[in-house]
């Protein structure tokens, strides 16, 4: 799927991936890819700036955690439930509008 397809919806994808608990960046990318059945492959150059922006907005917090011999920055939702609900609502409205245009149903 083209990267342009997720433009405008990246925040919602990232928030949804973190809804079940804290994850490090690569695990977030993997979660989105797995949940999309492999259709969405997010680039690190897109994901990390978005995570930083969401953290500046107060929707995420992060901290370093040891994972084996390495440290990774893990992200978790703060009080982002309302933002996630708004993202889901916007997505439903968007897909309904696009669906009505691309697949209008039988002509009357």
Query: Which of 96, 22, 37 minimizes the C-alpha distance to 14?
Result: 22
Whether 29 contacts 37, CB under 8 Å: no
pLDDT value of residue 50: 96
Answer positive or negative: Cα dihedral of 14, 18, 24, 26. negative
Query: Which of 49, 46, 34 minimizes the C-alpha distance to 2?
Result: 46
List, for residues 1-59, the tens digit of each pLDDT value. Answer: 555 667 788 999 999 999 999 999 999 999 999 999 999 989 999 999 999 999 999 99
pLDDT value of residue 4: 66
What is the DSSP annotation of 5-44? GGTTTHHHHHHHHTTTS-EEHHHHHHHHHHHTTT-----H
Confirm whether pTM is higher than 0.85.
Answer: no
Could you identify the residue written with the tokens 């500046």?
56
pLDDT value of residue 104: 84
Strand positions, DSSP E, 49-103: 60-67, 70-77
List, for residues 51-108, the tens digit of each pLDDT value. Answer: 999 999 999 999 998 888 889 999 999 987 788 888 899 889 988 999 999 998 876 5
């Amino acid at each position: 799927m083209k990267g342009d397809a997720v433009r405008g919806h990246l925040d919602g994808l990232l928030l949804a991936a973190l809804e079940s608990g804290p994850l490090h960046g690569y695990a977030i990318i993997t979660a989105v890819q797995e949940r999309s059945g492999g259709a969405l492959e997010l680039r690190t150059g897109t994901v990390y700036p978005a995570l930083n922006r969401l953290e500046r907005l107060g929707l995420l917090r992060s901290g370093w955690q040891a994972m084996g011999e390495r440290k990774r920055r893990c992200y978790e939702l703060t009080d982002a439930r309302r933002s996630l609900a708004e993202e889901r609502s916007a997505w439903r409205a968007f897909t309904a509008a696009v669906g009505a245009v691309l697949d209008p149903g039988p002509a009357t």
